Amino acid sequence: MSVKSFSPQLNNSEEILENTLRPQKWSNYIGQERIKNNLKIIIGAAKKRNDPPDHLLFYGPAGLGKTTLAYLIAKEAGGNIRTITAPIIEKPGDLVALLTSLNEGDFLFIDECHRLNKQVEEYLYSAMEDFKLSLILGKGPMAKTLDLTLPRFTLIGATTKLDMLSSPLRGRFGAIFQLSFYSPEEIEEIIKRSAKILNIKINDDAAKELSKRSRFTPRIANKLLKRVRDFAQMDNKDTITKKIVIDSLSFLEVDELGLEPGDIKIIETIIHKFAGGPVGLQALSSATSEEKNTILDVYEPYLIQLGLIKRTSKGRVATKAAYEHLHIPFD
């Protein structure tokens, strides 16, 4: 039987679920307190100056709330927000059409901004700095430059790969924030809030057990909550108990640390095929038949957070904790 991995990435139905559960005000946004406090100051000061807030950049693993923060910022500042993923902006003309459609005080949220086309990115520089676009019309000696004045707007960028952003683009953001993994207590609170919105009854110990298996990530917590609800309903139970959580997630092959078959494969490959490491990314990718980006973006951040693997200058190494979790003797 093939079991779906609970990746932080979204499909269409999951996006609808996430939008339903998305906090609509600061008081409902759980976690990331330092970032929220900084954003409140940035927005409040901009309001007093009657200026748009500085351009903002959020980075960190998928599913931690970057998009939700963008929506909350726009709502708090009283502006409209347009959202788009970077690969959709294929050429400068697409960017021009997007920027000229904005109104004064609007927000433009670009997800995966590390994937911006370089030619598009260069046009973005003057738009971010001076709210202007310089378009070159025609070619050769007959070419003309057309300067367009844009409404003052705020660009909010999001990326899982800060290191892939060019220095010129990164330097044009007024503030850059790293979203960190959530604590088990914060995830538990998020689960209870989501359960209430979805009209799901869940015991405290069940919420605690579910939070332990949610990879410190709200998006995954909400996905697992929905799946556990399905099991409870099929068993004619109106309340999710700890036993239902354990039984259903065991069926879904999510263990007590939130590890899935893909995670286990990564660790076991390092231990059994490479004597515990170190092993390079390319070799690990070939040995597991996993894409390098999948290892980097989906598996590795959580495994490092748990202390099950570590990265060294020579490659990935399985830790003693990894051996113990898989009940493999550690020499």
Kindly list the domain boundaries of the chain, sorted by start residue. Answer: 32-178, 184-251, 261-325
CA angle 229, 235, 238 (to 5 degrees): 55
Annotated active-site residue in 66, 213, 223, 316: 66
Fill in the amino acid letter for 182: Y
Q: What is the pLDDT of residues 163-203, one digit of tens each?
A: 899 999 999 999 999 999 999 999 999 999 999 988 889 99
Whether the pLDDT of residue 17 is over 80: the answer is no
Whether the pLDDT of residue 10 is over 60: the answer is no
Q: How confident is the model over 248-276, as a mean pLDDT?
A: 93
Q: Which is it for the CA torsion 105, 106, 112, 116, positive or negative?
A: negative
Verify whether residue 67 is a known catalytic residue: yes
The CATH number corresponding to 32-178 among 3.30.43.10, 3.30.70.20, 3.40.190.10, 3.40.50.300 equals 3.40.50.300
Q: How confident is the model over 127-154, as a mean pLDDT?
A: 78
Annotated active-site residue in 111, 215, 229, 269: 111
Whether the pLDDT of residue 138 is over 70: the answer is no
Verify whether residue 154 is a known catalytic residue: no
Verify whether residue 66 is a known catalytic residue: yes
At residue 3, the pLDDT reads 33
Question: Cα–Cα distance between 65 and 32 in angstroms, integer?
Answer: 9
At residue 330, the pLDDT reads 82
Annotated active-site residue in 172, 219, 223, 316: 219
The CATH number corresponding to 184-251 among 3.10.20.30, 1.10.3720.10, 1.10.10.10, 1.10.8.60 equals 1.10.8.60
Q: What is the pLDDT of residues 197-230, one digit of tens each?
A: 888 899 999 999 999 999 999 999 999 999 999 9
Question: Cα–Cα distance between 197 and 190 in angstroms, integer?
Answer: 11
Rg of the chain's alpha carbons, rounded to an integer? 23
* Backbone torsion region of residue 65, taken as left when φ is above 0, otherwise alpha when ψ lies between -120 and 50, otherwise beta: left
Contact residues for 49 (Cβ-Cβ < 8 A; gap 6+): none
Question: Cα–Cα distance between 325 and 308 in angstroms, integer?
Answer: 9
At residue 5, the pLDDT reads 43
* Selected residue with higher pLDDT from 23 and 16: 23
Whether the pLDDT of residue 248 is over 70: the answer is yes
Q: How confident is the model over 292-319, as a mean pLDDT?
A: 92
- The tokens for 164 are 């892939």
Verify whether residue 160 is a known catalytic residue: yes
Element (H, E) at 137: strand 132-137
Contact residues for 15 (Cβ-Cβ < 8 A; gap 6+): none
At residue 18, the pLDDT reads 64
| Closest C-alpha to 59, from 156, 140, 160 | 160
Lowest mean pLDDT among 12-16, 51-55, 95-99: 12-16
Q: Fold match between 184-251 and 261-325?
A: no
Whether the pLDDT of residue 139 is over 70: the answer is no
Annotated active-site residue in 67, 68, 154, 159: 67
Whether the pLDDT of residue 262 is over 80: the answer is yes
At residue 20, the pLDDT reads 75
Looking at domain 261-325, its CATH architecture is: Orthogonal Bundle (1.10)
| Closest C-alpha to 318, from 279, 262, 285 | 279
| Closest C-alpha to 242, from 197, 188, 199 | 188
Verify whether residue 319 is a known catalytic residue: no
Annotated active-site residue in 154, 159, 160, 269: 160
Q: What is the pLDDT of residues 45-77, one digit of tens each?
A: 999 999 999 999 999 988 999 999 999 999 999
